């Protein structure tokens, strides 16, 4: 019985996080309340407070889960292998997938609300972008060493430009509801770093298969 109750509590907490994540990605952190989440779940606000004491705690949990999921996606990109341009294309694809669901990057939306967030949430948002920057810096560094990418400045600066460019492209594409618009911008951004064209990379991949 106790085990079943724990499982039920975990399921409810997951549903709360799912709903809150969607609301943040579509409205921003300040654009929804506990009442909105409770109404969708058909439970009382008191029940929400049982799982997450306040909105700040809910926000912390949202970022932690989103960052863990994003880190797992980056690990999967690494495991698939490929050169730096292929990894960068896959990275941009993570953003396109979010837009395809008519949402925005969770931490991108939170960055827009940054000044109004509790400090632990502000710190977590920065950690998310720092972790992404570190991954991109490593990928770009490898690409620079093997000649598959060219960067004018440091790998870290190029990583910052990629994150800023993709987050901005996501924001601008949102009113149009147009994933192709985002992908066109992402392609222009990333192909400026690649030393070979997509067709050349595909031919090289086929030849080595």
By the 10 Å C-beta count (0-12 exposed, 13-18 middle, 19+ buried), 42 is classed as: exposed
Q: What are the boundaries of each domain within the chain?
A: 55-208
128 pLDDT more than 80: yes
By the 10 Å C-beta count (0-12 exposed, 13-18 middle, 19+ buried), 101 is classed as: exposed
**What does the CA dihedral 157, 161, 164, 165 come to, rounded to 10 degrees?**
-170
CA nearest neighbour of 121 among 36, 171, 175, 55: 55
204 pLDDT more than 50: no
Residue 196 has a pLDDT of 59
| Mean pLDDT, the chain, integer | 90
188-200: average pLDDT: 74
Over residues 58-102, the pLDDT tens digits come to 999 999 999 999 999 999 999 999 999 999 999 999 999 999 999
Residue 8 has a pLDDT of 53
23 pLDDT more than 70: yes
In this structure, the chain runs to a length of: 209
Residue 54 has a pLDDT of 93
pTM greater than 0.85 (yes/no) = yes
Instruction: Give 107's pLDDT tier (boundaries 50, 70, 90).
Output: very high
125 pLDDT more than 50: yes
Residue 150, sorted as left (phi over 0), alpha (psi -120 to 50) or beta, turns out to be beta
Residue 9 has a pLDDT of 59
Homologous superfamily of the 55-208 domain (CATH): Tetracycline Repressor, domain 2 (1.10.357.10)
Contact 10, 22 (CB under 8 A): no
């Amino acid at each position: 019985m106790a085990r079943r109750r724990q499982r039920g509590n975990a399921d409810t907490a997951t549903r709360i996080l799912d709903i809150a994540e969607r609301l943040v990605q579509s409205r921003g952190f300040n654009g929804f309340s506990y009442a909105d989440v409770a109404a969708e779940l058909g439970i009382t606000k008191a029940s929400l407070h049982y799982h997450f004491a306040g909105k700040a705690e809910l926000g912390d949990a949202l970022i932690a889960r989103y960052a863990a999921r994003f880190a797992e996606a980056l690990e999967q990109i690494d495991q698939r292998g490929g050169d730096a341009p292929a990894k960068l294309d896959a990275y941009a694809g993570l953003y396109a997938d979010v837009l395809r669901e008519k949402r925005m990057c969770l931490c991108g939306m939170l960055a827009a609300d940054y000044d109004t967030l509790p400090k632990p949430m502000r710190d977590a948002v920065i950690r998310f972008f720092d972790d992404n920057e570190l991954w991109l810096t490593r990928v770009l560094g490898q690409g620079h060493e093997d000649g598959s990418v060219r960067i004018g400045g440091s790998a870290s600066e190029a990583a910052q430009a990629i994150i800023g460019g993709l987050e901005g492209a996501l924001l601008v594409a949102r009113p149009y509801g147009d994933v192709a618009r985002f992908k066109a911008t992402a392609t222009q951004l990333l192909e400026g770093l690649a030393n070979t064209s997509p067709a050349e990379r595909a031919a090289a991949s086929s030849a080595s298969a």
